[in-house]
Amino acid sequence: MAALLVLSLLQAFVVKPFQVPSESMSPTLEAGDRILADRITLIASDPRPGDVVVFSRPEAWETDAAAPSPLRRAAGWVGDLVGFGPSNLDALVKRVIGEPGTTVQCCTADGRIEVDGTALDEDYVRNDLAFAPGQLDCDSVPASSRCFGPVTVPDGSFLVMGDNRASSSDSVVKCRGTASTDGCARFVPRDQVIGTVFAIVWPLDRLSSPLG
């Protein structure tokens, strides 16, 4: 019992394991990867742009998933307690792009995201949405689905995106292909950020830090 209590406290305040639920962060994180999220750092500081974070699904991020059965809930309770196996926590994993108060938009002439007017170098993105300057861009009709914004991140929230941009239901998925800024973006409240991902621990051939 004492060991379970210690394990529970470690997960609540120090480090918590999670299983990546989808391919939205591929190739940085693959579906099924077991990752570790640092919880201590967030006590003293906020997530920074470029951080990969685990967060509880905000209410605005609707899901079509069916409610779990009582047996599945029981298994999830055990998994949440010991840190392995099924979980009852509906958590997502994405990369922080915009901090509170920043303005994020896409795209520059060469198809890059801008934050407060500065273009990002995102070498972690491998599968982006189609963009061809002068042919399929933000001025073409139709516009490239890579385009969105500008969107200003509200206080106490973060704008997050998946590294697998062409297959990521993230903060700007409902804004793509338009210049609309009218409530299309979905943000992550600070109090729903659980931790910053710092390692892949399973499978063994993927042991690494995913922050590069």
Taking each helix axis from N to C end, the angle separating 2-13 and 70-82, rounded to the nearest 10 degrees, works out to 80
Q: Tell me if 197 sits within 8 A of 52, measured CB to CB.
A: yes
- 28 CB-contact burial (10 Å; exposed 0-12 / middle 13-18 / buried 19+): buried
Radius of gyration of the chain (CA): 18
Residue type, 200: I
Return phi, psi of residue 200, to 5°.
-100, 130
Which residues have a catalytic role annotated? 24, 94
